[in-house]
Amino acid sequence: MRIAILGATSQIARDLIVSFSAGEEHHLHLFARRPDEVTKWLVSVGLSACYSVDGFSEFSKQEFDAVINFVGVGNPAQALAMGNSIFDITLQFDEMVLAYLRIHPACRYLFLSSGAVYGSAFDEPVTGNTPAIVAINNLSSQEWYGAAKLHAECRHRAHPELSIIDIRVFNYFSRTQDLSARFLITDMMRAIRDKTVLKTSADYIVRDFLHPSDFYKLVNVLLSAPPNNAAVDCYTRAPIEKTKLLAAMQENFRLRYEITEAASSINATGGKPYYYSLNTRAADFGYEPSLTSLEGILQETNEIFQHLIF
């Protein structure tokens, strides 16, 4: 299968490219706004002779069996810095793919969406019956990212004749994570690396961190399944509570932490106590996760700090 990867500079896209490189059943063509950066990265991971790399202007000139669109932002600080342009960027590249599908209707389209499409409350985990709640009369900047993704999903459902699957990523963590990003998990990594004390709030939160291997498994089953127009939520074998994650990182990597009144992480899309999904529609396509959130985090953290002695 010939697959176009759009937004090949993103972390999750790069992890998927590395996962794909272990097999020979797919041929990837990588596209990015900064193709030179992608080329340098391929050299750094020993894949320089494996894939073609181009700017987006070359996309429509090629024939593909599938397109995977990763274009967007990868961390809260980027989301805040991008501001309202997230609407234009999301629309621009989504429309580019939809125009391609009108000419090549047999091509499959996987769109990287977000759990933020459900809204910003998350007072309980979402399910297959959870509605998207958008404060349309009082839309805050924290909701722009989710609204942009929801807008794209609505456009996709309006084309039932096309094979489009939206993949809603809630949380994702790998050894390639940019440790300067302002997530709670990266705040933990920096505290371990720098031997400093993590200051974090007492807020009760639960997260479900997808591992690269399970994301790769999900993408493969979606590409192999009969054509469909749908949305699937990402999930692992089990989510992880914040207190249990802190305790595990303390036990395994000597994380030092202190509970404070105010949180230090950036909440670019709002506070979410239960930011994970119980919607297992992906199982209908053959997806079965191998790891729990904690297993995946410990595995990847071991790789990040393999040179350190604890």
In order of 38, 102, 229, 288, 289, the CA distances from 279 in angstroms are 34, 30, 17, 13, 13
Place of tokens 């950036």: 266
Show the tokens assigned to 250. 């303390």
In a domain, 184, yes or no: no
Across the chain, what does the average pLDDT equal? 93
- What is the pLDDT averaged over residues 303-307? 88
Tell me how many domains the chain contains.
Answer: 1
Residue 120 lies in a domain: yes
pLDDT confidence tier of residue 261, bands split at 50, 70 and 90:
confident
Is 138 inside a domain boundary? yes
pLDDT at 266 over 60: no
Helices (H) and strands (E) in the chain, counts: 9, 14
Residue 101 lies in a domain: yes
Instruction: Give the residue from 290, 182, 194, 302 showing the smallest Cα distance to 248.
Output: 302
Q: What's the CATH code of the domain at 87?
A: 3.40.50.720
pLDDT at 269 over 70: no
Assess if residue 140 is contained within a domain.
yes
307 in any annotated domain:
no
Domain membership of residue 163 (yes or no) is yes
Instruction: Print the domain residue range for 134.
Output: 72-177+208-237+271-291
* Mean pLDDT on 113-124: 93
Percent of the chain residues past pLDDT 70, beyond the cut: 93
Nearest CA-CA partner of 205 in 258, 264, 271: 271
Stated pTM of the model: 0.94
